[in-house]
Chains A and B, each alone.
Chain A
Amino acid sequence: MPWIAPQSGVKNWQPIGSRRHFDPIVLRAMKPLPAVFCAVTFAFTSSFAQSANQETITNAELLKQMKALEAKVATLEKRLAHYEEDEARIEKPIARSKEKISGKQASVASEEPSAPSTVETVSSSNKPLFGLGYRSHAVLSIGAYGELKFGGQEAPGGWKDGFDAQRIVLLPTYQITDNIIFNAEIEFEHGGIADDADDKLTGAVELEQAYVDFLFNEHFNWRSPGVDVVPFGFINLFHEPTQFYSVNRPELDDGLIPTTWFEGSTSIYGKIINNLNYQFQINTGLEDIGQNGGVPDDGSPYEGGITGTEALGLARTPIGDFNQTKNAPGFALRLSYTPPFVPGLNGSSSVFFTPNVTPRGAYGDDGHSLGHNSVTMLDTEVRYRVPRTGFEFRGEVVDVIICTPSNLRANNDGDPENNVGKNLWGFSLEAAYHIDLSDYVHNGWELVPFYRYTYENLQTGGFAGIDENLPTGQGQRQFHTLGMALFPTPQVVLKVDYQFALDNAPDSPRADHLLGAVGFFF
């Protein structure tokens, strides 16, 4: 009888069913056996001796002694089983310990399957073997991403060269239980903030995400009330620098979508059917005020949140101290899809609606009150990586529909050039090519040259309000962005691009840029 049963075709199996080695762990488990043997022997011999010496013992007393003996044996058996369980927990698969308990020995070939119940015991224990304790205890993870930029930007009076530590973001994630997850995103922008004048910092420290996810099943999960990005478009959700190739985020995400657009919110999300997922969010919505502190109570001028120059860049609601200026919620629904009949195609369609963006007490420059104004936003974007080639194409279209332009602050602030019509909209088309540099530089390096065209119209027809309407054409914009992104690993990107920025205003200053960036995400 071999010590190890035949294990054809498989190396290093646990010798299930085969005779065990007397390895140190088994020897440890064997320690109590002599003690058990001695105790049982002693109990038997002493009771036998007692009965021999005292022939006058009664049947009742004998019965009592036997019961005491049974109890002792039961206790010892329990202790033995306890030791064996310890051994199994330390090192061996559960299958082996069960067999040991049953007293079976050795020679069964290891190909012989264990009972299904044994397999179930392993799976339902929810404790991975080999120290892979991911499922059995909470896990804290801190990721990060960041963008450091440099280069020149065209401005009135000539080019300005410089550097910007634009953002360093920390991403703590804590797995509270297997199904309750905490996520946060803490951002340091433009180097952060400091009170001392000699620090010369004008940045920010922001809490862009903080919520607890309750995972129920793949169709339904709940994101608790917290701070979260609005599920609208792609870049607003996935804005790490490794997700896009230009130095700056795509132009549509610089106003039409006020990326990073985060709000106080709660969501549900999950899968509808295969290849179609949803997220529905109720949030604090947008507000038509572009400054802190709400609408001034002294009737002085204040800045609008939705304008023909900044689009919605100033319209996010604050997330702190109950400082939101209106009661109406916002509703966002995003459907994301990966149609199986077009491999490599990913896309999403989003809609956002809020029944009112007008802050409490809003007024025009002539003192009249501004009434309710609903805003609807639509977005569809696709990303197509052509299978087995280096080609990638992206496209996006965004439309912002203003229900009552006459109630917008921008149309009632005395400035005739920043007015807004019924719509603000734009689209972009992008082509990129992925070049594998493994053969030339280093394994895994990839170069991605790209070109993106963006068109925006922030001042369409349909203006209404007390302002004169004299748009200069600066709301009709085009951007040609040409550049390349080098990925030494998927987690790090080095970028450079040149952007031609054009608008229809005859006296607009040129706003081209030549920028480089280092981005990372891990």
Chain B
Amino acid sequence: MTHIPRWILPAAISVTVPLPSYAEQYLTVSAAQKLCFPECDQFAPVHVKFTPAQIKAIEAKSGQKQLLRGQEIWRAMQNGKLHGFFIVDYVIGKHLVIDYAVALSPEGTVKQIEILNYRESYGGEIRNPDWRKQFVGKGPRSRFALNEGINNISGATLSCRHVTEGVHRILATYEVCLK
């Protein structure tokens, strides 16, 4: 009888286990909105399309290149009262795009960060709540950077750095467009 390499068996099992072809993203926008503002009953889209002057101002304040033409923003409301802003943003991790959301207080300080979709093969540790918590309370005037107020996760360095830069850009966007 022909000898079948033993390692074929576990590999074959892993291949043939029925799995769905497509996954859901880790968080939908509406689920993330509810996570960030559980008390709010309404989210009003107030998306901003940047003017050239605004792009220039955001880049000057954040020190980051603004590659987006606009920002997806929602006002989080409870009974008509503003509780904050929910902003969806995109950064490149190592090669692929990370979709994430920043919840800001009405005064523009970070309330929460949620990773909506992470696609890279390595670096998914940025989803850890403990890492994301480091941004809470940071505002447009706060000084922070990777390893200066925001601890790095080695192995996820690029994702950590780019999300940190993205938060800087979001806070500058608040100052320029929402304040």
Contact = CB atoms under 8 A, between A and B. Distances in A.
B96 A173 contact: yes
A213 interface: yes
A291 interface: no
Interface in B149-164: 149, 151-155, 157, 161
B42 A113 contact: yes
Contacts of A214: 19, 23
B77 interface: yes
B154 A346 contact: yes
A218 B124 contact: yes
B34 to A, nearest CB: 10
Interface in A206-261: 213-218, 222-225, 234, 237-238, 243
A233 B9 CA distance: 27
B147 A385 contact: yes
Nearest to B30: A123
A338 B153 CA distance: 7
A327 B177 CA distance: 63
Interface stretch (A79-87, A155-163, A174-182): A174-182
A216 B30 contact: no
Given A216-B20, A243-B154, A175 B80 contact: no
Contact of B10 (A277, A329, A346, A434): A329
**How many residues of B sit at the interface, in one of the four size bands?**
35 or more
Interface in B26-78: 26, 28-30, 33, 41-51, 54, 68-72, 74-75, 77
B43 A181 contact: no
B95 A237 contact: no
B129 interface: yes
Contacts, number: 209
B30 A119 contact: yes
A107 interface: no
B70 A225 contact: no
Interface in A10-35: 10-14, 16
Interface in A333-384: 336, 338, 340, 343-344, 346, 348, 383
B121 A119 contact: no
Contacts of B72: 122, 128-130
Interface of A: 9-14, 16, 93-95, 110-116, 118-120, 122-124, 128-132, 134-135, 139, 141, 143, 171, 173, 175, 177-179, 181, 183, 213-218, 222-225, 234, 237-238, 243, 266, 268, 270-271, 274-275, 277, 282, 284-285, 327-330, 336, 338, 340, 343-344, 346, 348, 383, 385, 387-388, 434, 490
Interface of B: 3, 5-7, 10-11, 14-15, 19-20, 22-26, 28-30, 33, 41-51, 54, 68-72, 74-75, 77, 80, 82, 88, 90, 94-97, 99, 117-122, 124-125, 127-131, 147-149, 151-155, 157, 161, 177-179
8 contacts: A132-B90, A214-B19, A216-B19, A217-B26, A234-B154, A277-B124, A383-B154, A388-B148
